[in-house]
């Protein structure tokens, strides 16, 4: 029974911590961080196996490295 109480107390402490960290000092919810579109690469599907890989890593024939090696 004591272990169960300890677990519930820890869960409540974690919940309070998460709620407090999600609010700014002026009482409004924190704004989501803006995403930087330059940090993502465009993905494309390999024409032979169908795996999505970064577009720059495809060959001229539209195949990934593994499919180019096996061909």
Distant-in-sequence, close-in-space partners of 50: CB < 8 Å, separation ≥ 6: none
Residue pLDDT, tens place only, 37-71: 777 888 999 999 999 999 999 999 999 989 988 76
**Does residue 14 form part of some domain?**
yes
Rounded average pLDDT over 26-32: 68
**Does residue 52 form part of some domain?**
yes
Q: What is the reported pTM?
A: 0.44
Residue range(s) defining the domain that contains residue 12: 2-29+41-70
- The single residue listed with the structure tokens 């993502």 is 40
The dihedral built from the CA positions of residue 44, 47, 50 and 51, taken in this order, carries a sign that is: negative
**Does residue 34 form part of some domain?**
no
Find the DSSP H helices in the chain: 2-21, 65-70
**Does residue 22 form part of some domain?**
yes
In the chain, how many domains are there? 1
**Does residue 35 form part of some domain?**
no
**Does residue 23 form part of some domain?**
yes
């Amino acid at each position: 029974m004591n272990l169960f109480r300890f677990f519930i107390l820890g869960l409540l402490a974690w919940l309070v911590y998460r709620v407090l960290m999600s609010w700014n000092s002026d009482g409004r919810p924190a704004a989501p961080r803006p995403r930087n579109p330059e940090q993502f690469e465009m993905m494309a599907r390999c024409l032979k196996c169908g795996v999505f890989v970064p577009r720059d890593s495809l060959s001229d024939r539209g195949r990934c490295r593994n499919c180019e090696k096996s061909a």
